C-alpha cells in the first residue's frame, strides 16, 4: 500500500514539472512582451524628438521581441545605407531595454520593412546559388555579409539537397560559400 502511495506521489511530481515548464514558457513570453513594450516606448520618444511619423508594432518571434516601425514617409532615413542606421538604432534600443530590465536583449528592430525585405532577398539568393551549385558542381562564394545575413543564407541553402554551405574569412569580410555535398 505504501508503494502505491509513493507511485501516486511521483505522478504528482511529474505533473508539477509539466506545470513548471509551462510557467517558464509563460514567463519567457511575458519577459519578451515587456522588452517589446520598453523598446516601443523608447522608440516612440525617439521618433517624437526626431519629428518622424511611424506606427510601432510589437511582436514576439521565437526567443526574441520584434519591434517594427512602418507608415512614415521619411523612415528610410532611419534605415540608412545598407541598414547601418537601423543597426545603430537597434543597438541603442537594446541598451535602453537592458538599462530598464538589467538583462541583455536580443530584440530585433525593423524599420520600413527593410529587414523583412532583406531577409526575403537573401533567402531567394541562397536558394538560387544552391541550385546553380547543384547544377554546375562548382562552389560559389557570395559577397561578405553580417552574421545575421549569413544565417539567413545558410538556412536557405540547407533546404536544398545535394549542397552545403559554410562561412569563410574574417569579419568584416566573412562570406558564405556554397559547395556541392561530397
Per-residue pLDDT of the chain (182 residues; tens, 9 = 90+): 444 444 444 445 555 555 566 666 678 899 999 999 999 999 999 999 999 999 999 999 989 999 999 987 789 999 999 899 999 999 999 999 999 999 999 999 999 999 999 999 999 999 999 999 999 999 999 999 999 899 999 999 999 999 999 999 999 999 999 999 97
The residue out of 112, 141, 169 marking a domain boundary is 112
Cell of 182: 561530397
Do 92 and 170 sit in the same domain of this protein? no
Same domain flag for 121 and 153: yes
Euclidean distance between CA atoms 16 and 11, whole angstroms: 9
| CATH number of 140's domain | 3.30.1370.50
Structural domain ending residue among the three candidates 71, 97, 112 = 112
Helix axes 2-50, 84-101, angle to 10 degrees: 130
Structural domain ending residue among the three candidates 90, 112, 134: 112
Interatomic CA distance for residues 74 and 47, integer angstroms: 11
The neighbour count for residue 107, using CB atoms within 10 Å, is 21
Q: Is residue 18 part of a domain?
A: no
Q: How confident is the model at residue 105, as a pLDDT?
A: 95
Note whether residue 123 is domain-resident.
yes
Q: pLDDT value at position 4?
A: 45
Shared domain for 122 and 58, answered yes or no, is: no
Domain count, the chain: 2
- Is residue 70 located within the same domain as residue 128? no
End-to-end CA distance of the chain: 62
Task: Give a yes or no: residue 3 inside a domain.
Answer: no
**Co-location of 90 and 38 in the same domain:** yes
Q: Evaluate whether residue 17 is within a structural domain.
A: no
Q: According to the model, what pLDDT value does residue 8 have?
A: 45
Same domain as 75, residue 30: yes
The residue among 33, 28, 40, 48 whose CA lies nearest residue 110 is 40
Please tell me the pTM assigned to this model: 0.76
Are 38 and 91 members of one domain? yes
CATH of the domain at 84: 3.30.300.20
Check residue 56 and give its pLDDT. Answer: 97
Q: Grid coordinates representing 147?
A: 552574421
**124 vs 112: CA distance, rounded Å:** 20
Domain with 162, as residue range(s), is 117-180
Nearest CA-CA partner of 68 in 60, 58, 78: 58
pLDDT of residue 142: 98
Amino acid at each position: 500500500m505504501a508503494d502505491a502511495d509513493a507511485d501516486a506521489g511521483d505522478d504528482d511530481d511529474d505533473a508539477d514539472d509539466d506545470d513548471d515548464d509551462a510557467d517558464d514558457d509563460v514567463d519567457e513570453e511575458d519577459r519578451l512582451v515587456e522588452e517589446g513594450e520598453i523598446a516601443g516606448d523608447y522608440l516612440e520618444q525617439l521618433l517624437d524628438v526626431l519629428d518622424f511619423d511611424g506606427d510601432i508594432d510589437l511582436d514576439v518571434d521565437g526567443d526574441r521581441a520584434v519591434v517594427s516601425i512602418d507608415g512614415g514617409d521619411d523612415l528610410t532615413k532611419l534605415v540608412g545605407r545598407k541598414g547601418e542606421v537601423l543597426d545603430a538604432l537597434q543597438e541603442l534600443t537594446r541598451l535602453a531595454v537592458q538599462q530598464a530590465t538589467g538583462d541583455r536583449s536580443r530584440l530585433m528592430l525593423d524599420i520600413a520593412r527593410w529587414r523583412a525585405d532583406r531577409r526575403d532577398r537573401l533567402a531567394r539568393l541562397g536558394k538560387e546559388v544552391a541550385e546553380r551549385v547543384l547544377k554546375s558542381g562548382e562552389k560559389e562564394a557570395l559577397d561578405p555579409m553580417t552574421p545575421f545575413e549569413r544565417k539567413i543564407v545558410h538556412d536557405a541553402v540547407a533546404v536544398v539537397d545535394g549542397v552545403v554551405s559554410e562561412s569563410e574569412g574574417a569579419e568584416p569580410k566573412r562570406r558564405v560559400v556554397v559547395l556541392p555535398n561530397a
